[in-house]
Structure 1
């Protein structure tokens, strides 16, 4: 089986958010992903200064344009930030100092840096309260996802009406303690007929028991499994880079920020995630194929049209 992964920050020792990223490094990461059955992916750039983000997006675009094999594997760029919630827990591994309200002119800078390769933008709807930037991105053919957010139901609805079509890694990028009923997980699940929802199925970001419950609440055609892989993916325990941060991967494969208060990306391959879905939740091959290949590929194709 081949996979389509909409969220890859890096792979096999290569950090897509590195300031010295080279085409040869991207070639190495793509070969490693293909060895692990990832047929296509979106290279993910996370929050930093606008200059740093634009530079990183441009370097990935350069690599895609320079090499046909890279272009076959990296279907585009996922920009995660900087229009996210700055609140504790919701910001996650994104530096709060660089988080900002959504503006079309900033979105334009990010897209210009990608020269047509930016395909997905994750933002917090409360940072775009009128939906203006969301609508603009949608009108320019991008997938717009909510994530790193504590958006209210009304804020989610405004964003959906403006073109929001996805939610990024539900169950993560929120505090460990939230109101037991009215929280971002419950709000998004209540809109799961209108949103594709991605999940990190490594067993760390969401316990498999809870993931199983979430999956039962979402229409089959709206479930997407993502790796959120960082440079540690495919390597093993150790300390690895993510956008200037150090991430420590434990012996069990969990990837922690230096402060040990939250995860920072993932070191687990989609291959391993599918094994967990089979063994821990009894998910059949048809659903695994839909969640890891058919559904994410459809989103990419719809964004092109």
Structure 2
């Protein structure tokens, strides 16, 4: 049993002073609270929900040597940074390598209660994407292949049915049929790493696709003004879009315009972080990207080039960046990293009775927000 405790503060999403009762890892009550004069009133927020994590703090869910210990360590590292719910994201690879990552994640959930609580499902980003330069990003071209329901079923067999999201490009023949089959099995389908036509985008949404993966990235450097796959995804209200707000993947004007076009109610933030995220600045050698440089401001690029080599900031940093770059209030930016993605993770990211007791205590100076304490499952995170 986890000891009961009471937390008092100002709900960062609503501005109301509240008293939150926590017992056995869950929120049991949320009541109005009147602070006494002179009381220090901290800001309280739900733990952050990241639907796209490839790695962080030197840990990775991709590669040939992923094991349960790696996944468990990643859960701990993310929690310390304020992300209490995360979706491991396995990218394009051979079927054997994908299955290996899936088995490791499933084993981590079976052996570690904190990981079981933090990881609701797995996101497989690819291999059913575009093979074109630009849309493919850094995914290996040799492993790109058409969508295959039988392969999806083999993934599920490898991980006790843990695959809950698949990103694909709907330009492949038979994409609509795959989308319909996946969604019928309870798997979310996102559109990403694509050069598909608007008609193919909308056909995927007709078949049940409900999300866009890091919209504005995984795209051609140059494309027609209109029509194109970015406008189609922004316009289709059936698609809720993820955005990488690390200050590098989307310029401020682009992020602000895309959030306005899509609407905050159909948007959420992701870190899309890789294993080098959270490490000191410097030069590194990676399996994907080769020699890369990580700058002090979190920009990860192929050494000697202007090309990005992944995302290297945690979701809490993306919240602060989105707030500045898109002119959002603290509550708006936090919702993009809590309640909005939480809708795709079983309702996580809320401070309501019955929710997991994942909470953050924040400091806020009107420009930047910092996480100063994390409570995951009712217990402080060291």
**Fold shared by both chains (TM-score > 0.5):** yes
Residue in structure 2 matched with residue 35 of structure 1 by the alignment? 80
2:311 alignment counterpart:
266
Number of residues of Structure 1 aligned to a counterpart in Structure 2: 301
Query: Relative to structure 2, which stretch is displaced further, 143-152 or 54-63?
Result: 54-63
Are positions 1:104 and 2:140 aligned together? Answer: no
- Pick the structure with more strand per residue: 2
Residues 87-139 of structure 1, C-alpha deviations (whole Å, 9 max, x = no match): 11111011111101112112212222221211110001112545111111100
Question: Secondary structure at the residue paired with 1:145?
Answer: strand
Asked if 2 retains the 8 angstrom alpha-carbon contact of 1:169 and 1:226, the reply is yes
Whether the aligned pair in 2 keeps the contact of 1:129 and 1:155 (CA below 8 Å) is no
**The 10-residue stretch of structure 1 (66-75 or 85-94) with the greater mean CA deviation from structure 2:** 66-75
Change (3 A) 1:103 1:27: closer
1:172 aligns with 2:250: no
1:209 positional shift: 1.5
Aligned partners of 2:331 and 2:179: how far apart in 1? 33
Contact 1:16 1:45 in 2 (8 A): yes
Q: What do residues 42-67 of structure 1 show as CA deviations (whole Å, max 9, x unaligned)? A: 00100011111111111111111111
Q: TM-score, normalised by structure 2?
A: 0.75
- Equivalent runs, 1:54-73 vs 2, <5 Å: 54-73=99-118
What's 1:114 paired with? 159
TM superposition shift of 1:26: 2.1
Taking the aligned partners of 2:172 and 2:180, their CA distance within structure 1 comes to: 13
Q: Which residue is equivalent to 1:226?
A: 270
CA 1:140–1:189 in 2, change beyond 3 Å: closer, same or farther? same
What is the 5 A alignment of 1:79-228? Answer: 79-191=124-236, 193-228=237-272
The alpha-carbon distance between structure 1 residues 51 and 207, as it changes in their structure 2 partners (threshold 3 A), is same
C-alpha contact (below 8 Å) 2:300/2:309 kept by paired residues: yes
Q: Is the Cα contact below 8 Å between 1:81 and 1:123 reproduced in 2?
A: yes
Deviation at 1:261, TM superposition (A): 6.5
Shift of the 36–228 alpha-carbon distance from structure 1 to 2, 3 Å rule, reads same
Q: Secondary structure at the match of 1:265?
A: strand
Q: Is the 8 A contact 1:189 1:217 kept in 2?
A: yes
SS at match of 2:78: helix
Find the aligned partners of 2:286 and 2:173 in 1 and give their Cα distance: 27
Q: Which residue of 2 aligns with 1:7?
A: 52
Task: Provide the residue aligned with 2:28 in structure 1.
Answer: none
Query: Could you tell me which residue of structure 1 aligns to residue 17 of structure 2?
Result: none
Assess if the C-alpha contact under 8 Å between 1:10 and 1:29 holds in 2: yes
Shift of 1:216: 0.5
Structure 2 gaps of 5+ residues are 1-44, 348-382
Q: CA 1:9–1:130 in structure 2 vs 1: closer, same or farther (change >3 Å)?
A: closer
Cα separation, partners in 2 of 1:243 and 1:119, compared to 1, 3 Å: farther
Do the aligned residues in 2 keep the contact of 1:16 with 1:44 (CA within 8 Å)? yes
Of 281-290 and 5-14, deviating more is: 281-290
- Bigger Rg, which one: 2
Q: 1:142: how far off?
A: 1.0
> Which consecutive unaligned segments of at least 5 residues does structure 1 have?
none
Looking at structure 2, the residues matched to 38 and 164 of structure 1 have their Cα atoms a distance apart, in angstroms, of 26
> Deviations for 1:257-291, whole angstroms, at most 9, x for unmatched residues?
46946423210111111111222332112212321
Q: Secondary structure at the match of 2:340?
A: helix
